[in-house]
Chain A
């Protein structure tokens, strides 16, 4: 059996987390694998967990009628997939698909929320880490909204 605590501590998302807090996470975690092409979850389904990518790439997609699945973001090793487990109504807001063969740590949302409620210090630390992910993704989305590589409208180098 893999040492999940050691595995998590090596991932950037959990960097610097105390071993006691990592043990709390581990008690809610399990390892999983997905073959390329398989979905981790679909839009609208219950968001009961999140994933930390160990190996492989995940595409976050949304289905647009007449256009098919459009990729909004990709998630790489060390990064996390899924924030909807945190917030009511706990439903996924997009699809997540394994682009390559994938190895992840899956963390049960109910379990972790209960631990956050029981231990606010742990909860605050975890929320800071998750908020940073949310902030980075919002920043990325805003920059892409600028359409920086679009036509400048003039002759510039």
Chain B
């Protein structure tokens, strides 16, 4: 699949190293991206990286939140409005509730891991009556690195939003600690809960354990894995995790499916 051209319609700086961009199609628009899916964004002349969709707005505009962590993401973060990027996608699996009855939702996000979960929040807010209790538990390194701070205030009117940071100065009046410490404060029925977890893999491992300890069955937990994705078709093998291709079989997996793999250090 050749990249389709998309133009940066707007960009917003979220934190010192993270921006959100809205991309409008120059060529024919790609198929609709579902929450959890990702695009391969191509900074021409630099390279291509996988970036999840970070909003569900309808229409043809794609919204991605990008953290500047390497050469390609740096180029994407630095690209001005009006610049044309290459886009392939949609790729990967969605935050699916397939196979489980869901009333309550627990979203656990760490750092920029909130970005792939943001479309889920948008969908929940658009159809709030379909769900029972909804908790968003968010961890970040420090208060200045929190994403979507304006939206967090708005979301908290409709769902339980709890935020914690690793480090803070005395001006921060919120929680300090790891995100798993927020879980006992969330109210949910484990037997009717779907838990969606996105963040650094170590964080997800401990979050999944905390969810299990709270009585949530492994089949009711979804994790979004990060690996070195290149082709996004499951051909090149760069993202292979044992028999799973993270780009094609994931990036969102049911925890019971990948739990044994995550416990093997060498994978």
Contacts and interface: CB of A to CB of B under 8 A. Distances in A.
Nearest to B251: A157
B61 interface: no
Interface string A58-69: 011100000111
Contact of A156 (B166, B202, B206, B226): B226
Contacts of A147: 141, 166
Contacts of B261: none
Contacts of A72: 176
Contacts of B73: 155
Nearest to B75: A155
Contact of B51 (A74, A100, A157): A157
Interface in B96-139: 110-112, 116, 139
Given A59-B176, A156-B227, A157-B51, 8 more contacts: A70-B169, A74-B177, A76-B175, A140-B177, A143-B203, A148-B199, A148-B200, A148-B203
Nearest to A143: B178
A29 to B, nearest CB: 23
Contact of A148 (B72, B170, B202, B229): B202
Interface string A62-99: 00000111111110100000000000000000000101
22 contacts: A59-B173, A68-B170, A72-B176, A76-B175, A76-B185, A97-B170, A99-B173, A144-B166, A147-B166, A148-B110, A148-B203, A149-B111, A149-B112, A149-B139, A149-B145, A151-B17, A153-B70, A155-B69, A157-B49, A157-B116, A157-B226, A157-B229
Interface residues of A, number: 33
A156 B71 CA distance: 11
A153 B177 contact: no
- Name the prevailing secondary structure of the B interface residues: mixed
Nearest to A95: B170
A115 B180 CA distance: 34
B140 interface: yes
B181 interface: yes
B71 A155 contact: yes
B241 to A, nearest CB: 14
Nearest to B164: A74
Contact of B167 (A99, A144, A153): A144
A71 B199 CA distance: 23
